[in-house]
Amino acid sequence: MNTTCTPVETERTVLYVSNSPDQDLASFLAASGWQVMHAKNTATAERLIERGNIKVGLVELPSDCTSQHLSVLASCMRRVETNWVAQIAPGQAENELISRFILDYCFDFVTRPWLNDRLVFALGHAHGLSSLRHPPAAPEPSLGRHGMVGQCEAMQQLYRRIDKCSATEAPVFVAGESGTGKELTARAIHERSPRAGQAFVAINCAAIPPSLLQAELFGHERGAFTGALQRKIGRIESANEGTLFLDEIGDMPHECQAVLLRFLQEGTIERLGGNGPIKVDVRVISATHVDLDRAVEDGRFRSDLYHRLCVLRLIEPPLRERGGDIKLLANYALSMYRQDGARKLRGLSSDAIVAMSNYPWPGNVRELINCVRRAVVMSEGRFITANDLGLPEAENGPAVTLAEIRSKAEKDAIEHALQRHGYRLSEAAAELGISRATLYRLIHANRLHQEPAAGRASHANGADADDEAERHARSLV
């Protein structure tokens, strides 16, 4: 049912949610310049909110209101663009559930019997505040064309490179720290390539026991080994005509590397226990968070395989180099998990954004998303604060001055010279090009130890007599 009255002054709309609307109140509101839209239940209310620009809501809480009722109401009162005023019965404000609900979702409340003027004042105030909320300058952060959030220069460059890689068939290697989006990049290349309609098969080489990895990649025939009860098609074969994503390739065991190399060179595979090569048409993308160049140098990774895999190379920028994207990603995470929280969250406070921008994010995007998700659940206010994020304090010590750098270098040099010369001052002073007296002064000024921590230098281990006497003298000071 719609109780729609002709607006008198300005076009202000209030959504009145009540299963037994008060007609006198509706008329009063209409006479006061409000257009009243009535919703008998939350489903109707939700539809109306979805449809238009509802800045103010008036919700009547039934006197026998249950937590179930409140959670249904909450689902339609979460949206930040609507400010709600609740009508409650006497005594309801003392009910903890209801008072919590009002604090979390309502701008104001009135208790029966209310003065209509008071109610109109509350609605006007709610409307005024809601009107201050300008539509966001930028649209809600969402996954862009490449399935990722990010606009910084480093990401723009990554997108351009993804596009170039998508246009060829050459193998791509994606490097980057943990949680930077290597898998997303691999998917983006596949989705934008001519193989997009075909399979994208990912295998995490680090997650499969080395003894099983070969069978997993190449498949096996029935009876190929104990336990091979039936034929199994391997991941490479399943990716035929599509893309194979070899994740954590840096952890691939050596034996498997040799077989993979053969597949890359010949474009054929052989199932374990099989009796002939099978031709496959697979585009390969690989990734790892380990330093593959170092792994090749150390002999842990075959260099011939490395060159086959790394024809094209992409590097994921770490989060700390993405500047303003941190805010975008945090808002994206908030929009994904907003519903997990028990209350109507309006957003991230500016101190939360500062804390996130100062934190080094060892786990990169994954860590940031998890952090915001956790804060959504744990926060108690309308905004997620720096405190809710629980990030360790950034080390914001004063900047290091040149004088401090010099004095640290001096202290280190003296300490090392003393250690090298078994705490024999004459020798250490000679090496440092200063007199014994100066060295002695500097040791004191820098509060350095004059002898090894583990024991006394003695004549037996070569300390000179003068130094020994000097040490003894100083120990008496």
- Total residues interacting with Mg ion, rule: CB under 5 A: 3
x-or-dash string of contact with ligand ATP, 121-150, rule CB under 6 A: ---------------------------xxx
| Least separation in angstroms between CB 187 and Mg ion | 11
Residue 88 contact among ligand ATP, Mg ion, none, beta carbon within 5 to 8 Å by kind: none
Of the candidates 143, 150, 184, 138, the residue with the CA atom closest to the CA atom of residue 324: 150
Of these, 92, 180, 257, 286, which contacts ligand ATP (CB under 6 A)? 180
x-or-dash string of contact with ligand ATP, 315-354, rule CB under 6 A: ----------------------------------------
| Least separation in angstroms between CB 289 and ligand ATP | 4
Phi-psi region of 422 (alpha: psi -120 to 50; beta: other; left: phi over 0): left
x-or-dash string of contact with ligand ATP, 285-304, rule CB under 6 A: ----x---------------
Piece of the chain touching Mg ion by CB under 5 A; list 41-49, 179-187, 310-318, 383-391: 179-187
**What radius of gyration, in Å, describes the C-alpha atoms of the chain?**
35
- 20 by Cβ neighbours in 10 Å (0-12 / 13-18 / 19+) ranks as exposed
Residue 178 contact among Mg ion, ligand ATP, none, beta carbon within 5 to 8 Å by kind: ligand ATP
Residue 219 contact among Mg ion, ligand ATP, none, beta carbon within 5 to 8 Å by kind: none
Of these, 171, 179, 317, 341, which contacts ligand ATP (CB under 6 A)? 179
Residue 318 contact among Mg ion, ligand ATP, none, beta carbon within 5 to 8 Å by kind: none
Piece of the chain touching ligand ATP by CB under 6 A; list 181-189, 254-262, 302-310, 442-450: 181-189
Of the candidates 298, 280, 198, 211, the residue with the CA atom closest to the CA atom of residue 252: 211
- Total residues interacting with ligand ATP, rule: CB under 6 A: 15
The residue written with tokens 């090009």 in the block is 433
Tell me the residue number closest to ligand ATP, measured at CB: 181
H or E element at residue 241: none
- String of DSSP letters for 389-420: HTPPPP--PPPPPHHHHHHHHHHHHHHHHHHH
Piece of the chain touching ligand ATP by CB under 6 A; list 182-190, 269-277, 350-358, 429-437: 182-190
Of the candidates 70, 48, 51, the residue with the CA atom closest to the CA atom of residue 61: 70
* φ/ψ of residue 83, rounded to 5: -95, 130
Structure tokens at 72: 């249904």
Q: Does 182 bind ligand ATP (CB under 6 A)?
A: yes
- Compare residues 250 and 341 and give the one whose CB is closer to ligand ATP: 250
| CB 201 within 8 Å of CB 237 | no
Piece of the chain touching ligand ATP by CB under 6 A; list 18-26, 252-260, 278-286, 362-370: 362-370
Q: Does 250 bind ligand ATP (CB under 6 A)?
A: no
Which residues are bridge partners to 233 per DSSP?
Answer: 219
440 DSSP 8-state letter: H
- Compare residues 334 and 425 and give the one whose CB is closer to ligand ATP: 334
- Residue 448, SS3? coil
| Least separation in angstroms between CB 264 and ligand ATP | 22
Residues 295 and 297: their CA atoms lie apart, in Å, by 5
Which residues 202-261 are close enough to bind Mg ion by CB under 5 A?
Answer: 247
Piece of the chain touching ligand ATP by CB under 6 A; list 176-184, 260-268, 276-284, 464-472: 176-184
| CB 201 within 8 Å of CB 235 | yes
Q: Does 183 bind Mg ion (CB under 5 A)?
A: yes
| Least separation in angstroms between CB 247 and Mg ion | 5
**At a CB cut-off of 8 Å and minimum separation 6, what does 127 contact?**
12, 14, 55, 56, 83
- Compare residues 57 and 176 and give the one whose CB is closer to ligand ATP: 176
Residue 180 contact among ligand ATP, Mg ion, none, beta carbon within 5 to 8 Å by kind: ligand ATP
- Give how far Cα 177 sits from Cα of 208, 244, 287, 363, 461, Å: 21, 21, 10, 8, 49
Of the candidates 278, 145, 287, the residue with the CA atom closest to the CA atom of residue 220: 278
- Residue 22, SS3? coil
Residue 288 contact among Mg ion, ligand ATP, none, beta carbon within 5 to 8 Å by kind: none
Q: How far is CA 152 from the centre of its chain?
A: 16
Of these, 46, 108, 163, 183, which contacts ligand ATP (CB under 6 A)? 183
Of these, 3, 95, 178, 238, which contacts ligand ATP (CB under 6 A)? 178
| Least separation in angstroms between CB 105 and ligand ATP | 29
Of the candidates 61, 52, 114, 115, the residue with the CA atom closest to the CA atom of residue 84: 61
* Residues forming the site for ligand ATP (CB under 6 A): 148-150, 176, 178-184, 289, 365-366, 369
What is the contact surface with Mg ion in residues (CB under 5 A)?
182-183, 247
